[in-house]
């Protein structure tokens, strides 16, 4: 049975959580897409699917429980998506993970390095391999990777995070070099600031509350990146004309202290 009865174009949001992932999913669904949401936690995925379908109708969202650290899990999900929803037109690899409190190299175990690098990089490689054949058959497809400040420079404490994000950036450039002539538009979005989500945004909000920085809390969009605003960038990249494709873009809020000093 098709889970995409209206044959809408399909976007796969890999690493779909309530922040950037859901915001991007919604931005595409409002334009007529059906979204495949991939992550590990079923109750969160279910809530997201129900919320999107409540707003945009049945068949606009489905979820696929996936552990991006395991190749077979990624392959199985993409096979199901193809069978149940159709070939993927847009791939957004949004998963990324790091320790909130950094650790120096000598304190970072090999298991930790491997675990985070699998999420930050390997999952993107496997996901890309799953969607490329159908995109190439259509001579058309968009691949968007969510980057971070850590993709641009090494910072103490981020040994288990940055190497994966650097690699993700390079993978994105390689997709462009290898497949752009056949119609694939790949772009890397450098999210160079804290996002107003539960984890990092929550840490910042609590810190500012403790410090009595009320002006920041009252003007939050100037300090924390809003997922819905960032989602506009993903839609913009996807809808660019092919004579003027962007390969890399960086974003930060108005009063953010220029994290990476780009």
Binding site for ligand NAP (CB under 6 A): 15, 17-21, 39-41, 44, 66-69, 94-97, 119, 146, 148, 191, 194-195, 197, 200, 227
Nearer to ligand NAP, 88 or 119 (CB): 119
Minimum distance of ligand NAP from residue 221's CB (angstroms):
14
Minimum distance of ligand NAP from residue 49's CB (angstroms):
13
CB atoms within 10 A of CB 164: 26
Minimum distance of ligand NAP from residue 44's CB (angstroms):
5
Backbone torsions φ then ψ of 129, nearest 5 degrees:
-65, -30
Backbone torsions φ then ψ of 90, nearest 5 degrees:
-135, 125
By beta-carbon distance, which residue lies closest to ligand NAP? 17
Q: How far is Cα 142 from Cα 234, in angstroms, rounded to an integer?
A: 10
Helices 227-238 and 20-29 pack at an angle, to 10 degrees, of: 50
DSSP secondary structure letters along 99-118: -SS-B-GGG--HHHHHHHHI
Q: How far is Cα 33 from Cα 57, in angstroms, rounded to an integer?
A: 11
Minimum distance of ligand NAP from residue 183's CB (angstroms):
25
Nearer to ligand NAP, 163 or 197 (CB): 197
Q: How far is Cα 256 from Cα 249, in angstroms, rounded to an integer?
A: 17
Name every residue whose Cβ is closer than 8 Å to that of residue 19 and which is 6 or more positions away in sequence.
195, 196, 197, 198, 201, 227
Nearer to ligand NAP, 100 or 244 (CB): 100
Nearer to ligand NAP, 16 or 135 (CB): 16
Minimum distance of ligand NAP from residue 178's CB (angstroms):
23
Minimum distance of ligand NAP from residue 225's CB (angstroms):
7
Nearer to ligand NAP, 39 or 152 (CB): 39
Nearer to ligand NAP, 77 or 142 (CB): 77
How far is CA 170 from its chain centroid? 16
β-bridge pairing 248-251 and 61-65: unpaired
């Amino acid at each position: 049975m098709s889970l995409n009865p209206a044959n809408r174009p399909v976007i796969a949001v890999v690493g779909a959580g309530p922040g950037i992932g859901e915001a991007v999913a919604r931005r595409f669904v409002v334009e007529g897409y059906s979204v495949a949401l991939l992550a590990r936690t079923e109750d969160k995925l279910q809530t997201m699917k129900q919320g999107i379908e409540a707003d945009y109708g049945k068949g606009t969202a489905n979820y696929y429980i996936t552990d991006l650290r395991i190749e077979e899990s990624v392959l199985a999900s993409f096979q199901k998506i193809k069978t149940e929803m159709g070939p993927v037109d847009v791939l957004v690899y949004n998963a990324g993970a790091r320790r909130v409190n950094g650790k120096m190299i000598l304190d970072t175990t090999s298991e930790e390095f491997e675990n985070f690098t699998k999420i930050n990089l390997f999952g993107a490689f496997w996901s890309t391999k799953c969607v490329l054949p159908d995109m190439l058959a259509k001579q058309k497809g968009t691949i968007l990777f969510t980057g971070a400040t850590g993709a641009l420079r090494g910072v103490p404490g981020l040994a288990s995070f940055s190497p994966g994000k650097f690699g993700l950036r390079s993978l994105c450039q390689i997709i462009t070099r290898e497949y752009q002539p056949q119609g694939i538009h790949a772009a890397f979005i450098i999210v160079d600031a804290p996002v107003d989500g539960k984890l990092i945004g929550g840490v910042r909000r609590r810190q500012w509350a403790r410090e009595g920085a009320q002006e920041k809390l009252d003007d939050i969009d100037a300090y924390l990146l809003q997922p819905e605003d960032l989602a506009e960038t993903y839609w913009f990249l996807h809808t660019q004309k092919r004579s003027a494709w962007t390969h890399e873009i960086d974003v930060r809020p108005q009063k953010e202290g220029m994290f990476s000093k780009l």
